Amino acid sequence: MKKVNGYIAVLLTLIALSCNKFEYKEAEPYIDYYDLTVNEFVTQKMDSLKMFNEALKITGLSATIESGDYTIFAPFNSTFNAFLSNNNYTTLQDVPVDELTTILKNQIIEGKKKSPEDFLTTSQTFETIGDKALTISITENTGNLRSAYIIKVNGKTVLISNIELKNVVLHAYQDRFL
């Protein structure tokens, strides 16, 4: 028994000596507004939307969305990769520009819209700049200790929402289809 107590004492001493003083580092504050364009934001802060950014550049829509106020429902890179694979394209440059332009225009609505204040808690339809109906539904999820809102755009769950940029509110989703 003395041997066990000795081992425990040595073990506790080693643990105590190996511990460094824990220094608390404050988390950076949550920022929901960035004084950046979509291109600048994606380049600097959100690598998971780089294919969307590339598509904006290929189609020339970067200039369009910087000239007014818009809400964008951007697909993640994985959604673009699935689209490329499903349509036998290797890169975004392989997609005809007209087709890519139509896809992007159908993800953009005029005006800056944030949730939940700008969307009804039931289904609501907006016209995209590509003249297609975009159905947005929002539900409150009270399953956790605090309320959260789940946004769906044409049935696709928005994973990142309410990123307010210079003239755009950005929401991002992941799905197998564009």
Asked if the structure places residue 10 within a domain, the reply is no
The one-letter amino acid at 2:
K
Tokens of 132: 């297609």
* Predicted local confidence at residue 118, as pLDDT: 80
The pLDDT tens digits of the residues spanning 17-34 come to 666 555 545 545 445 678
Per the domain annotation, does 22 fall within a domain? Answer: no
We report the CATH number of the domain holding residue 153 as: 2.30.180.10
Residue 54 pLDDT: 96
14 assigned to some structural domain: no
Which stretches of the chain score pLDDT less than 70? 1-4, 7, 10-32, 120-121, 143-147
Domain that holds residue 164: 31-173
Is 157 a member of any domain?
yes
- 90 within domain boundaries: yes
List 118's β-bridge partners, or say none: none
Q: Does residue 100 lie within any of the structural domains?
A: yes
The total number of structural domains that make up the chain: 1
Residue 27 confidence (pLDDT):
47
125 class by beta-carbon count within 10 Å (0-12 exposed, 13-18 middle, 19+ buried):
exposed
CA distances 114 to 9, 11, 73, 109, 168, Å, are 59, 55, 11, 12, 10
Look at residue 118 and tell me if it is in a domain.
Answer: yes
Residue 16 is assigned to a structural domain of this protein: no
Closest C-alpha to 116, from 80, 162, 159 = 162
